[in-house]
Structure 1
Amino acid sequence: MHASGRTPASVACHRLGRICALLVLLACALLGWAPRAHAGVANAPGANLEVALITYGPGDTYWERFGHDAIELRDTVSGEAVTFNYGVFDFDEEGFLLHFAAGRMHYLMDAAPSDVDQHYYAEVGRSVTRQPLAFTASQAADLRDFLLWNLQPENARYDYDYYANNCATRVRDALDKALGGVLKKQLGARPGGMTYRQQTARLMSQQAWLMLILDVGLGPYADQPLSAWQESFLPMVLQTQIRHVTTNDADGAAHPVVLGEQLLSPNRLVAPPEQAPDLRLPLALAGLVLAALLLITRRFAPTVFAVIATFYLVLAGIVGMALIILWTLTTHHSAWANANLLIFNPLAWLLIATAWRARRGIPSSRFADMLIALQLLAVLIAWLLHLLPGVVQQNQPWLLFAMPCWLALAWCYRKRHING
């Protein structure tokens, strides 16, 4: 859930106004209409342009948890510095919520004076790091020209994807294009440290409820091994990985792309953990507690048993329906082919009536017995999937949660059937 880190609706309108003003200034400069006093980034020769990667640390709001970054162009003669980023979205856009749900979100490129952007992030307590990059004069000029082209209203909008096409990957790709592909070549050959799922859980761990929702909704796509290039969908990873990239000068000698690194503002917020939390034990314990409650209340408080069973079955059906919709009706490919459908699915709703009949001493029907048997078989298949070669969805925490619940329900329904 990558985002720029400002309140989107108001900032989008404010920033779009600044884009228009900046475009007028840049167009004037490019066409030679501006006086010499206004010379700067837009018309400076490449030899006067300094390129830097600016990285902003994670924020407190959920859409800020992945951090943010930008490309800074600085004219060393006039002192003008402009940051270009790809992280603006607008809640007021027509159909925004529908596009969001369907996985067709639209983001915008933005530009602003560097001191304005950096002051904002420093003010809210997020870290700001600046890495000057080794660009030749022609590379810097090419990058500037591309960014100005990309900033034009007809080119600024793009289709956002959480992992494959977000604010950080756009910055990464723009730098790579100007550097002749050295970033992709070198980072693509280097293994990453975590999967999409692990990075998502790590960064969202401070909002546990949202972390769990995202984890249950991610399919096997999120568990593929990543290269450093792919893992650079995170600004902090790109900041780290680009330190190891080298490029050749005119004489063929290799030297680092990063010329230095300056912490402009330290982080004053709670930093995310270095590793993703292991959800297996907490969810296994939660599943065992729920299963124990089902077994105990089934014997001593049948009405309470019916309420608890209904809660679990309704929740399992809702989760399953959401997974089906994500797979079949949206472009959220990270949620496709989700194996959690084997343990959470709408068939659970058909077992709710049986829980309430059991409360009155009415035995379960053969149809209910068949559904329970089918569900237990599905749980077994979900476990057996982990024996297959290749990328397997890492959903063990949810299997450990659901398995004791389904076994407890099967026992409670079967026991009533025998007693009846």
Structure 2
Amino acid sequence: MTKAGRILLIALTLLCCAILPAHAGVADAPGENLEISLITYGPGDIYWERFGHDAIELRDTASGEEMNFNYGVFNFDEKNFFFNFARGQMHYLIDAETTTDEENFYAQAGRSVTKQKLAFTPQQAAALRDFLFWNLRPENATYNYDYYVDNCTTRVRDAFDRALGGAIKARLTQLPGGMTYRQQTVRLMSAQPWLMLILDLGLGPYADQPLNAWQESFLPEELQKSIRNITVADGHGGTQPLVQNESLLYPNHLSTPPATPPDLRIPLGMAGLIIAALIVGAWRYARLAYALLGSLFLLLAGLVGLVMLMLWTLTTHHSAWANANLLLFNPLAFLLLRSLWHVRRNIATSRFANSVLALQLIALLIALLMHLLPGVVQQNQPWILLALPCWLALAWSLRKTPPTP
């Protein structure tokens, strides 16, 4: 090779060495260059942000490239999106973007951003990276979202657990959870009282089952707390904490959810007594107001019952199935509307209406006994305290009307 040729070869070699690092990054970095972190975003102000969010950060220590992978993307433009949402068949996606862009978005919204650097061996880090990029493929990116068992946080948790050989699940299934699905939902939604009440009313016994720490880590803040207690193999025959260090990147500037769920028994029990007193008072002194107030209650009871029945029979929202609140509020209420207006004119309640009323009172009694008997899971005391005085006041007023000659 001539001198000029050798110089050209050296120049090309140097050029390749200069170019290759510029193109290296997370996608093709060796495992020993990958740094794995859990990024947790605090709850936001909008109702769909109240549960918080999280992501997996992969960082190539050689090139400095950082990417965040999250499972919380959905598309309003998807065909039949709202119909599928109502049926409980919500399609979510995994997405990836640069860490800076995503974290700036949450910081500007006033939400906290916490980073936990995790202890992964090079082989585990590479396996996690390969799985996430495989998951990004269009044919693998979509999944059927479930609020409690398959959401953007459980997907992050499961990806970590997969790469760590089941170490997270093995530990967390042995630890008890602090709250039930219902308690966590009510706690986090308490900033929107009407939505909180609707969700609590619509949740069935599934939401009251005791949870372990693995199940309760469906929430970002619970996963963030739980992994602090996990140790993993260090690759040299010993163990080490999974969380190597934790740092608050951006502080929270929004109101924080309460540490415990509000007790709904007193406010709903008081509301039931007030409504019952108004029904009885209106029956005595203002029959038109009585008919209007009673009709409003019966319409709401019937509509709520109809929705709960549809959730149970026509959707895959299994957290709403077998809801004992159907004994308190159900479509039978519609059948009593006419009787209220008869009472206004001192017309006796028909035999049919009396039979419907008797069925509803029996349903109330069953609901009360179900709650008092041991072994019943659903915690619906607040709604029993609301419904019981209202139905008793309506039953008294309908039966108290003197019969026609």
Task: Say whether 1:179 aligns with 2:164.
Answer: yes
Residue of structure 2 aligned with 1:59, choices 44, 62, 67: 44
Task: Give the 5 Å matches for 1:353-392.
Answer: 353-392=338-377
- Corresponding residue for residue 394 of structure 2: 409
- How far residue 324 of structure 1 moved from its aligned partner, in angstroms, is 0.5
- Corresponding residue for residue 19 of structure 1: none
- Corresponding residue for residue 229 of structure 1: 214
Residue of structure 1 aligned with 2:73, choices 66, 88, 102: 88
- How far residue 417 of structure 1 moved from its aligned partner, in angstroms, is 3.8
Deviations 1:357-385 (A, max 9, x none): 10011111111111111111111100111
Residue 59 of structure 2 aligns to a residue whose secondary structure is: strand
Deviations 1:247-277 (A, max 9, x none): 1223432221000100000000011111001
Is the CA contact (8 Å cut-off) linking 1:217 and 1:323 kept in structure 2? yes
In 2: Cα distance, 1:252 partner to 1:325 partner: 55
Task: Say whether 1:347 aligns with 2:332.
Answer: yes
Task: Give the 5 Å matches for 1:226-375.
Answer: 226-375=211-360
In 2: Cα distance, 1:200 partner to 1:396 partner: 16
Deviations 1:164-223 (A, max 9, x none): 000000000000000110100100110000000000000000111110110000000000
Residue of structure 1 aligned with 2:54, choices 60, 64, 69: 69
- How far residue 35 of structure 1 moved from its aligned partner, in angstroms, is 4.4
The one-letter code sitting in structure 2 at the alignment partner of 1:192 is G
The one-letter code sitting in structure 1 at the alignment partner of 2:327 is L
Is the CA contact (8 Å cut-off) linking 2:121 and 2:235 kept in structure 1? no
- Corresponding residue for residue 198 of structure 2: 213
Residue of structure 2 aligned with 1:201, choices 186, 206, 226: 186
Residue 97 of structure 1 aligns to a residue whose secondary structure is: helix
In 1: Cα distance, 2:233 partner to 2:178 partner: 27
The one-letter code sitting in structure 2 at the alignment partner of 1:374 is L
Is the CA contact (8 Å cut-off) linking 2:175 and 2:212 kept in structure 1? yes
- Corresponding residue for residue 131 of structure 1: 116
In 2: Cα distance, 1:186 partner to 1:397 partner: 35
In 2: Cα distance, 1:404 partner to 1:90 partner: 45
In 1: Cα distance, 2:320 partner to 2:357 partner: 26
Deviations 1:369-405 (A, max 9, x none): 1111111111110011124443511011000000000
Residue 50 of structure 1 aligns to a residue whose secondary structure is: strand
Residue 214 of structure 1 aligns to a residue whose secondary structure is: helix
Task: Give the 5 Å matches for 1:157-168.
Answer: 157-168=142-153
The one-letter code sitting in structure 2 at the alignment partner of 1:140 is A
Deviations 1:257-313 (A, max 9, x none): 000100000000011111001100000000100000000000100000000000000
- Corresponding residue for residue 14 of structure 2: none
Task: Give the 5 Å matches for 1:101-140.
Answer: 101-140=86-125
In 2: Cα distance, 1:415 partner to 1:390 partner: 38
- Corresponding residue for residue 46 of structure 1: 31
Instruction: Look at both structures and tell me which one has the larger radius of gyration over its CA atoms.
Output: 2
In 2: Cα distance, 1:62 partner to 1:318 partner: 23
Residue 362 of structure 2 aligns to a residue whose secondary structure is: helix
Is the CA contact (8 Å cut-off) linking 2:37 and 2:118 kept in structure 1? yes
Is the CA contact (8 Å cut-off) linking 1:223 and 1:391 kept in structure 2? no
The one-letter code sitting in structure 2 at the alignment partner of 1:143 is L
The one-letter code sitting in structure 1 at the alignment partner of 2:186 is A
Is the CA contact (8 Å cut-off) linking 1:224 and 1:391 kept in structure 2? no
In 2: Cα distance, 1:391 partner to 1:239 partner: 32
In 2: Cα distance, 1:64 partner to 1:391 partner: 32
Task: Say whether 1:397 aligns with 2:397.
Answer: no
> Unaligned regions of 5+ residues in structure 1, if any?
1-33
Deviations 1:227-264 (A, max 9, x none): 00000000000000110011122343222100010000
In 1: Cα distance, 2:208 partner to 2:156 partner: 24
Q: 1:192 to 1:391 in 2, by over 3 A?
A: farther
- How far residue 419 of structure 1 moved from its aligned partner, in angstroms, is 8.2
Runs of 4+ in 1 over 4 A off after TM superposition: none
- Corresponding residue for residue 17 of structure 1: none
Q: What's the % identity of the aligned pairs? A: 64
Q: 1:419 to 1:408 in 2, by over 3 A?
A: farther
TM-score by length of 1: 0.91
- How far residue 318 of structure 1 moved from its aligned partner, in angstroms, is 0.3
Residue 55 of structure 1 aligns to a residue whose secondary structure is: strand
Is the CA contact (8 Å cut-off) linking 2:116 and 2:244 kept in structure 1? yes
Residue 155 of structure 1 aligns to a residue whose secondary structure is: coil
- What is the aligned-residue RMSD (CA, Å)? 1.1
Residue 165 of structure 1 aligns to a residue whose secondary structure is: coil
Number of aligned pairs?
387
- Corresponding residue for residue 8 of structure 2: none
The one-letter code sitting in structure 1 at the alignment partner of 2:149 is A
Is the CA contact (8 Å cut-off) linking 1:189 and 1:227 kept in structure 2? yes
- How far residue 418 of structure 1 moved from its aligned partner, in angstroms, is 5.5
In 1: Cα distance, 2:170 partner to 2:28 partner: 31
- Corresponding residue for residue 27 of structure 1: none
- Corresponding residue for residue 15 of structure 2: none
